[in-house]
Structure formats: structure tokens, C-alpha cells
A and B are shown apart, each in its own frame.
Chain A
């Protein structure tokens, strides 16, 4: 099935325009919703009834110790967990009106609306250009001019254009790790998703590249709803509006980032952010 790219763009334009600076994030209708969401790997319950509402065009960080289920939760929103055998889910996940977990939900369409950036940069062993336009080609865009315009647009938004504009036909594998990760971000933005899920996007990068990715996240939130999983609490504090703290498959606390880091409601949260464990 070929979805017309312009309709994706139109849908984005029709979405309620919220200016995050003017209105508190809570005022807009939630974009991502989880209600009593459970996930089992076989008989092992990895997520134990997570409920949260994420407003549109904000950055939400999910923090917590290794194995707490933060990546699993993130990967549930675009159903990447479908790839793992023996996964069972209950509860509800929504992206705007779309019921993510429903049997008749078109996973391909869902993943076009929900972009994902992975922990390790994973550009395809193709040219830089072909990486960026990969999703567009999937949508059936063949016009060279349009592909070029959209590739440039995405690369500019990912703050990579100036570094690669003269070598778009070179292999993406020759880029540095940080450049590769920004290329992956450009690649997911090229098909105009509504949501960007980032699974520890900077954990494989050096400090300079990390800073660039963080700057990018802040710039991108005016267009996308961003959810970032990170094990780095300073990073969560720097980039996010709201932070969710998870432990052992449960959402312990979810709220305004500054509040969560300065005066957490829960003792467990306080213990974690002050480094008493984790």
C-alpha cells in the first residue's frame, strides 16, 4: 500500500497547534497514552501495569536502572516488540486516536507515524542520500527532485546538512558515530512522523556528539512528540520537559522534570536520583 506523503504532512498541519512556550504541556490533549499496560516475555512480567499520558510536542525522558523495562515500554509504542517471540501484552496503548495494540492496526502505518532512533547508530550500508530517502522510497516516492528536496530538509533539521552536502553519494558507513546517529534521526524524520522514540540515542557517542544530539532533541520538539529512554540522569534533566522514573517494570513516578529531580514525591525516586542505588 502506498500512502501519499503530502497527506502525512497535511495531517501534521491539521494537528492542534500548540506552542509549548505559551501553554503548559498538560493543557494539550495527550498524544501518547498507556493504560494499565502489561507486557510478558513468556511468563516473565516485564511491565507491570504502566499508565501514563504524554502531551504532544514535549520531550519525555524515561529513566531507571538497567532492566527496569524502559526500553521495552518505548518499543511497545511502535510495536517493535512484535519481533520477539513469546511476547504477550494486555492493557491499552494509544497514539492520538490510534489503538496501537489492536489486532487490525496496520503496523506498517503505525511505524510511519512513530519514528525510532536506536541505541547504536544503524545506518544502512548504502549512500548517505539513500539512507535518508529510504522511507520515502518505501512510500513510493520516485521523483528525484522531490527526494532531493526532502533529503536536504531532513538533513538540515538533523543539523547534518553542512557536513555531508558535498558527499551525499558516499557510504553512510564512513561517517563518524555521531554523524551516523544524526543521519539516523534525519532518516526517521524524512517520512514526517508525529512521534520520535529514542532508545538511549547518545549512549554510544562521545561527549561532543552527545551534546549535538541533545541540542537536536531540543530543536525538534517544536515539531515532534519525543520520548527518550536514557540511563543518563543529567541528560534527562537537560533535554526533557517531563520525566518518568521506572523500576522493575513499574512506573514509580512521572512528572515535570525539574520537580522530579529537585523534589520527588516518592522516596524510591529520591534514592535513585541521588545515586543511592542504580
Chain B
């Protein structure tokens, strides 16, 4: 082999030094990008928690809103001569709407994923998957508008509910927003199940459905669980759809035919008009911190669950 030609006049030692500097520079840029994302998250967290802090520290704020009062005051009436900050109705509303959304979206999403991965011809899957995923690309304000104008009337005529905008309407609209998330994660998990499991099952005389239900789905359970919990976190945090479709009355009743209000919608509806630093302002940030904690707990739980399922499947 002939040696590589070296251009005359190039100082090799200097060349190498420059190259090393360039490498280090690039590594630093990449590191800065990665850490700026983490820093952003930390800053948001610190800001939200700091703004909620007066509830625990400021005597002036506590005259109007106390931590204990959140759970004992029955009503949410922040704008009045005697403001009331009971968050129980809002928690109930959030739970109701999210529950409706999950009840409708999870079975459909999981079974649709099972169909796409186990039964659809490759060609049909090529159409089906992007179409369902396109649902995720619809801005939530459009879904909310659709729920407000079309679905609400339709649901009212079917159920005979006295209120157009209620938890059922918001939950159903929200289920459309959550469905693609759950579907995509589940479908990926199902398709990642080794072909050898399916072959073993079919060779034992299982039908395609038996194979899908008894072998493929359990083998993908970690991914399916992750998809469901991701959907749950998304449903809990979703704002625009519920703001537009739920009626926004903090009633705190158990019926899905009553209007309801969620944590996220409360913040969105009230934060723009609140006096900065007022008790109401602090309470809204407390709700934000609460929402943050709830989704954080769901995400951590998802991580732990997926980990455990995966270990169990691997035989530890």
C-alpha cells in the first residue's frame, strides 16, 4: 500500500491539534443541547412551585386560601366577595372526564393495534396506521370545536341529557385525542413480538385470533401498559378539548351527564384574568403543580410497571 499523500507545507502537529479542538467543540455543543432541555424542565418546575408557595408561607394568602381548605371547602368560586377555593369538584371533574376518555379509547386503540399488527394485510396496514396517527396531528382546538358544535348535539339527542356540554361529551372528544397515542405505542409493541412466538402458537393448532389474544398480546403487555399510561398522562394534561367541550362548571357530581371542569381547563380559563401575586393566582399555580405531580407519578408508575413486566417476561 502506498502512503497517503501529505500536502507539502501542512504542519501535521498543528493539524491534529486543530482536529482535536474541533471534536471537543462539537461534543460541547451536543452536551449543551441535551442539558438545556433538562434545564428548561427544571426551571419550569421551580417557577410553578415557587408561584404556588405563598399558600404555605404567606399569611395574607392564607386568609383566603389554605391547603386544608382545598379539600374541605365544597365549592370552587374564586371570583366573589368571599372567594371559595375547594378543589374537590375540579378533581372529580378531571377524574370523570379522563375516565370516560380512557374507557372509550383504550379498548378501541388496543384492539385496533391488534388488528393492524396481526390481521391486516401489509397493504391495509400501510393505510390504516398513518390514518390513525393523523388523528394525533389534528390540533386539539379543532377537536374541541368539533365536540362543541357537532358531537355535543349528537350526544344530547342520543342520551337525552339536559345539558349539551358535559363530562361525557368532553370525555369522548378527549378519547379521540388519546386514541392515536395509545394505538401507536401498542402497535409498535405488538409488532416487536418475535415471529417465533406466533409460529409456535400456530403450529400448536391455535387460530389467528387465539394466537393474537393468548400469545402476542400478553407478550407485548409491557408496551401496551406503557401506551395506556402514556395515554392517561396525556388525557390528564390535555386542556383545549376539555375547555371547549365540558361546559366548565365545577359541579363535582358523579354523573357524566353533568357539566364538569378539569384542573387544566381551570388554569387555562382563569390564569389570564387573575391579579399577579393574588391568592387566586397562587391557587392556580398550586393546581398546576398538582397537575404536574399527577402526570409525573403516572409516568414514573409507567416506567416501573413496564420494567417489571419486561423482567417477568424475560424470566427473572
Contacts and interface: CB of A to CB of B under 8 A. Distances in A.
Contacts of A123: 200
Contact of B204 (A174, A175, A188): A188
A83 interface: yes
A139 B210 CA distance: 11
A128 to B, nearest CB: 10
B226 to A, nearest CB: 16
Q: Among A80, A115, A120, A124, which residue has the most Cβ atoms of chain B within 10 A?
A: A124
Nearest to B121: A85
Given A120-B196, A122-B197, A172-B315, A83 B205 contact: no
Nearest to B198: A83
A78, A109, A171, A187: residue with the most chain B Cβ atoms closer than 10 Å: A171
A125 interface: yes
Contact of A171 (B194, B199, B215, B313): B313
A118 interface: yes
A108 B206 contact: yes
Given A138-B210, A171-B315, A124 B202 contact: no
Contacts of A171: 312-316
A125 B206 contact: no
Name the residue among B203, B215, B312, B315 with the largest chain A CB count within 10 angstroms. B203
A78 B203 contact: yes
B204 A134 contact: yes
B72 interface: no
Interface in A100-123: 108-109, 111-112, 115-116, 118, 120, 122-123
Interface in A199-233: none
Contact of A124 (B122, B203, B205, B219): B219
B74 interface: no
A187 B122 CA distance: 31
A173 interface: yes
A85 B123 CA distance: 12
A124 B314 CA distance: 10
Interface size class of A (residues with CB under 8 A): 20 to 34
B197 to A, nearest CB: 6
Contacts of A125: 197, 218-219, 312-315
A118 B196 contact: yes
Interface in A178-192: 184, 187-188, 191
B315 A115 contact: no
B19 interface: no
A122 B204 contact: no
B203 A126 contact: no
A111 B200 contact: no
Contacts of A83: 199, 202
A134 B218 CA distance: 13
Given A122-B196, A122-B197, A124-B219, A138 B316 contact: no
A137 B205 CA distance: 11
Interface string B208-229: 0010001100110000000000
Given A111-B205, A134-B204, A138-B210, A122 B313 contact: no
Contacts of B204: 111-112, 115, 134-135, 138, 187-188, 191
A135 B200 CA distance: 10
A116 B205 CA distance: 10
Contacts of B200: 118, 122-124, 184, 187
Contacts of A109: 205
B201 interface: yes
Nearest to A190: B204
B152 to A, nearest CB: 45
A112 B205 contact: yes
Nearest to B309: A125
Interface in B223-246: none
Nearest to B219: A125
A173 B205 contact: no
B186 to A, nearest CB: 17
Contacts of A118: 196, 199-200, 203
Contacts of B203: 78, 80, 111, 115-116, 118, 188
B207 interface: yes
B211 to A, nearest CB: 10
A142 interface: no
Shortest beta-carbon contacts, A-B, top 4: A173-B315, A174-B315, A171-B315, A122-B196
Given A80-B203, A125-B314, 11 more contacts: A108-B205, A112-B204, A120-B196, A124-B200, A125-B218, A125-B219, A125-B313, A138-B214, A174-B315, A174-B316, A191-B205
Interface of A: 78, 80, 83, 85, 108-109, 111-112, 115-116, 118, 120, 122-126, 134-135, 137-139, 170-175, 184, 187-188, 191
30 contacts: A80-B202, A83-B199, A108-B205, A108-B207, A111-B203, A111-B204, A115-B203, A118-B199, A118-B200, A118-B203, A122-B194, A124-B201, A125-B197, A125-B219, A134-B204, A134-B214, A135-B204, A135-B205, A137-B214, A138-B206, A138-B210, A171-B314, A171-B316, A173-B313, A173-B315, A174-B315, A174-B316, A175-B315, A187-B200, A187-B204
